């Protein structure tokens, strides 16, 4: 079982590549926001008006990753604890309040970055 934390460009690409390498792997993708596989580098073009449809920056959707690649995608889910010794992650769906406690064999961190002053 492979857990990928972060589902924008890096995490979604890693999960898709893992699926191509092993069609039987159990892959769980945890994304804190509502979007996955999002081309955030296109944001200046969206703000500048060159791209008028925000959805055109999404390469995949949670449902397309599930349907096409058999990846278990959980959006709006914030990981709040990683126990590397027990190989578990705890997370909470920020919309529903549902909590998750998932074990893993391999963990990929692809959480990106946030600007700071």
Catalytic machinery residues: 41
- Structure letter (DSSP) for residue 58: B
Instruction: Kindly report the length of the chain.
Output: 117
Helix 62-69, helix 9-21: angle, nearest 10: 10
Which of 86, 79, 88, 84 is CA-nearest to residue 111?
79
Q: Record the tokens describing residue 110, joined without a space.
A: 């692809």
Token couple for 70: 């058999």
- The 3-state DSSP class for residue 98 equals coil
């Amino acid at each position: 079982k492979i857990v990928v934390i972060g589902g924008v460009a890096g995490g979604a690409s890693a999960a898709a590549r893992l699926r191509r390498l092993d069609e039987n792997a159990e892959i769980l993708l945890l994304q804190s926001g509502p979007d996955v596989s999002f081309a955030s580098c296109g944001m200046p073009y969206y703000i500048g008006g060159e791209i008028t449809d925000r959805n055109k920056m999404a390469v995949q959707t949670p449902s397309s990753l599930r349907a096409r690649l058999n990846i278990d995608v959980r959006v709006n889910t914030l990981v709040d604890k990683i126990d590397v010794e027990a190989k578990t992650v705890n997370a909470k769906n920020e919309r529903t309040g549902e909590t998750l406690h998932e074990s893993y064999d391999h963990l990929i961190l692809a959480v990106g970055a946030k600007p700071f002053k």
